[in-house]
Structure 1
Amino acid sequence: MKHSFVCGNPALDFAATVRSRLGTPLEMFSSPESLDAWFRESGIIDGDTQFQPADLEQAIVIREAIYSLVHTKIAGDDYDGDALSIVNDAARTPPAVPQLTPDGRVTEATPIEALSTVARHAIEVLSGPDVPLLKECANHECTRVYIDRSRGARREWCAMDPCGNKMKAAAYRARKREEKLVPAAGK
């Protein structure tokens, strides 16, 4: 599996497909095939959507609109009108629809249907009961937003691997450096 799904909602995971937005951004959608793989790995579809370069461009526009809306919601600010229009327009088209076959359930979709499904997930998370649970990862290099369903809502990182482990290791190194300085200062 090339992509990670730790945010608790497909739209949040979709928005997180640019890693380290504050540092050196890493684009996970480098080709139509990588976008197709994301949709399969997310479980939104089972087959190939046959994304084309124009579909990839549209997916990135929708992703950035979702990212903007999520961060605006967390900040308590007013939504950007353009981002709202992009997500709402995408959600207006038919979504991916599961079908029952003799072999079980299959969800195939056109690129537009797959993107509509993600836009609908964004609308659900941004207007539903999980809004108070939205948090940004405490790793300053990570810009993922996740749904914190932990006991007491005390989760700090999008995931232990890599963010939690990285932050805990940095805190440990800082404590060890401090311990070295304290005895030297007491002499």
Structure 2
Amino acid sequence: MSGRAAETPNEPPGLTLVSSEGKPYRFDPGALCLELTTTGGPGAFARWEVLHEPADLLAWAGRSRLPAGLDLTVTAGELERARALRDAVLLLAADRAHDRPLRTAHLDVVNAAAAEPALVARIAPDGSRAWAPGATGTQLLSTVARDAIDLFTGPHAHRVRECGAHNCYLLFVDTSRPGRRRWCAMEHCGNREKVRAHRARQAPRKP
């Protein structure tokens, strides 16, 4: 499956997600690799799977923080490897967020993907950053895996968080200066948790 990643002009980094109530909200996980974790996952996360065919990975790339205009071809095998990499990154990020040891099996998946050639950047005639044509899904996955390595070994490795809402498991990098970000998005889980806490305070106490 080949295609060009759709451009999303003038939008801040991050993805537009839709809540269970059907309300869109903006979620910035702070890293390309964590954007991939919003597409589903292993076990209970499989119910959110959106990478069903190569076109779905193309669509994700077009919405991601990668510069737009990526001329990309994705095969069925690369799509399968994308899901495997996504699952490994999700579980590694969850382990990092909860101060658990990183598991070798998941690291092996990331390292194997990163060992492949990555996307090739170039300067477009208008001076903007672009991609060399003819990119493959393997190159895309290598770029994502290298981003994961940078995250898990870099200065923000201790800032990987899981949303503090009781029923949200979105993962993000807390890049705020005080390091106190708790929610995937204030307009989504942050507001819901504030309302829930307010109602709990207002509820009559049992004698």
Same fold (TM over 0.5): yes
1:76 to 99, 103, 106: 99
Bigger radius of gyration:
1
**Larger CA deviation: 53-62 vs 29-38:** 29-38
Letter in 2 for 1:138: G
Q: How far does residue 78 in structure 1 lie from its aligned partner after superposition?
A: 2.7
| Unaligned residue ranges in structure 1 (runs of 5+) | none
Map residues 102-117 of structure 1 onto 2, 5 A cutoff: 102-103=125-126, 104-108=128-132, 109-117=135-143
| Kept in 2: contact 1:22–1:143 (CA 8 A) | no
- For residues 108-140 of structure 1, the C-alpha deviation after alignment (integer angstroms, 9 at most, x for no partner) is 521000000000000000001001211111012
The alignment covers a number of residue pairs equal to 180
Change (3 A) 1:101 1:119: same
Aligned Cα root-mean-square deviation (Å)? 2.5
Map residues 2-17 of structure 1 onto 2, 5 A cutoff: 3-4=15-16, 5-17=27-39
Distance in structure 1 (CA, Å) of the matches to 2:196 and 2:98: 27
Change (3 A) 1:95 1:23: closer
Number of the residue aligned with 1:87: 110
Number of the residue aligned with 1:64: 87
Q: How far does residue 22 in structure 1 lie from its aligned partner after superposition?
A: 5.8
User: What's the TM-score, normalizing by structure 1?
Assistant: 0.83
Map residues 114-125 of structure 1 onto 2, 5 A cutoff: 114-125=140-151
Distance in structure 2 (CA, Å) of the matches to 1:23 and 1:63: 11
- For residues 135-182 of structure 1, the C-alpha deviation after alignment (integer angstroms, 9 at most, x for no partner) is 111012221221112242221101113221222222233233x1xx24
More helix by share: 1
2:56 to 9, 34, 52: 34
Distance in structure 1 (CA, Å) of the matches to 2:147 and 2:168: 22
- Percent identity, aligned pairs only, is 33
Letter in 2 for 1:14: L
Distance in structure 1 (CA, Å) of the matches to 2:54 and 2:91: 23
Change (3 A) 1:163 1:29: farther
Letter in 2 for 1:148: D
Change (3 A) 1:14 1:79: same
Change (3 A) 1:130 1:143: same
1:126 to 147, 152, 159: 152
Detail structure 1 runs of 4+ shifted over 4 Å in the superposition. 21-24
Distance in structure 1 (CA, Å) of the matches to 2:84 and 2:46: 20
Change (3 A) 1:25 1:165: farther
